[in-house]
Amino acid sequence: MFSPTALRPRYAKWLIATGLFLVLSGCVEKPNTLERVKEDGVLRVVTRNSPATYFQDRNGETGFEYELVKRFADDLGVELKIETADNLDDLFTQLGKPNGPVLAAAGLVSSEKRKSQVRFSHSYLEVTPQIIYRNGQSRPTDPAALAGKKIMVLKGSTHAEQLAQLKQKYPGIEYEESDAVEVVDLLRMVDEGQIDLTLVDSNEVAMNQVYFPNVRVAFDLGDASNQSWAVAPGEDNSLLNEINAYLDKVQKNGTLQRLKDRYYGHVDVLGYVGAYTFAQHLQQRLPKYEKHFKNYAKAEKVDWRLLAAIGYQESLWQPTVTSKTGVRGLMMLTQNTAQAMGVSNRLDPKQSIMGGAKYLAYIKEQLDESIEEPDRTWFALAAYNVGGGHLDDARKLAAKEGLNPNKWLDVKKILPRLSQKKWYSKTRYGYARGGEPVHFVANIRRYYDILTWVTQPQLEGDQVAEGNLHVPGVDKSKPNPETPPL
């Protein structure tokens, strides 16, 4: 048996060792934010579900902010996980929560109020706040002219802060802040005359104006501002320093400018082309690819004229075009779709048409069995444009509205709602330019109808066959500029 006196030296040594361990443990620093991100292998980012920031289309996840922050995550060698906030206040609340997003990438402009909530990175995009009015209405030319107008802006936005400051000088200015809308909703409301004015940044106007023909810029309100990313407040600068280094790099190597050009440098205009131009293309372009449309359409059991109509809507039968979103070729296939359909070269018109035919047949096969022809074809075209997920969202919304989710006539009424926050916030796949597939299908149906007419075996009157393709008997002289489009 050990005596108590014999145990004392051992016990004392144990206490000393334990004490030293605890002291040394206390000296070990906790990992900083950047280290935690790399250890977890995940960069958690909060953003807005809007066309200028982040949304899903037929190419998958996209948006200016998404692409910029995705490249940052790739640079860090980690996975990107996106969370969307219901509104701006919610976005700032989420940032920095335990196990929550560590970065906000949402087209944010710094202000004194916001600087008390977050820390901002270097800027990456210069924007100008603009007063927006409806064409045909009296155009305000200065802040004093805002008095007495019905104005709405995003709740918690720097635009609301601007109007609050103006109201001190011009008490007649009244405005509403809403967290139930996004910028695209505000532009639509001006376009439709639901509100008189709104205040949005110039980049969002440039991206969306084509979809709202009545929207006009009245004047710039104040100087240009800079958009930045934001991180939680505190003294840990590890992630912020890495962000700033990355933004400086993409500014210097041209990546940032290429993204700006892609999203804001030009506008993708949808719509019909003139009858004269279409007739020209029937004669000059389609004969080069007609046999490929026929062969691959036959192999996939689809109408070749429908396939050709898709090709015209997508590229005007031009095999080497590339869109701002990276889809390429005569049938404008995404990289993922091309690979899935066995296309190795999207700029090869034969391969592109083959891929388009396979993809159309695949989409039709994936549709719910309850959808019958001809609606099945129109649904397939819509999914070709906007993606099957968004189409399912629209069908579910149609059913909730008491409409028939299997009828294109009903669902096309609902699709544009996917660009309105009060509707897309209730869906699985979120924001989409829901008006685009409606135009897409309408255009293709028009081209298909014309192709069906001009390729009939028996032609009447003065119609002739040129280059093995029947074309309408059109006046070969150039049309009057005032001639309305198809």
Cα 240 versus chain centre, distance: 26
Q: State how far the alpha carbon of 15 is from the alpha carbons of 20, 26, 137, 274, 309, in Å.
A: 9, 16, 84, 91, 84
Instruction: Give dist(CA 188, CA 209) in Å, integer.
Output: 9
- For 39, counting Cβ atoms within 10 Å of its Cβ (0-12 exposed, 13-18 middle, 19+ buried), the class is exposed
Does an H or E element contain 177, and which? strand 175-178
Distance of CA 148 to the CA centre of its chain: 34
Cβ-Cβ contacts under 8 Å for 276 (sequence gap 6 or more) = 474, 475, 478, 479, 483
CA distance 286 to 289: 5
Stated as kind and residue range, the H or E segment containing 479 is: none
224, two tokens: 């240009």
How large is the angle between the packed helices 435-454 and 304-315, nearest 10 degrees? 130
C-alpha angle 324-330-332 in degrees, rounded to nearest 5: 40
Q: How far apart are CA 129 and CA 202, in angstroms?
A: 6
Decide: 136 and 223 in contact? Cβ < 8 Å. Answer: no
Contact 418, 434 (CB under 8 A): yes
The torsion region of residue 107 among left (phi > 0), alpha (psi -120 to 50) and beta comes to left
For residues 325 and 51, give the distance between their C-alpha atoms in angstroms, rounded to a whole number.
13
Three-class SS state of 127 = strand
Helix (H, G, I), strand (E, B) or coil at 399: helix
Residues designated catalytic? 314
The residue assigned the tokens 């190597």 is 253
Instruction: Give the Cα separation of 364 and 388 in Å (integer).
Output: 10
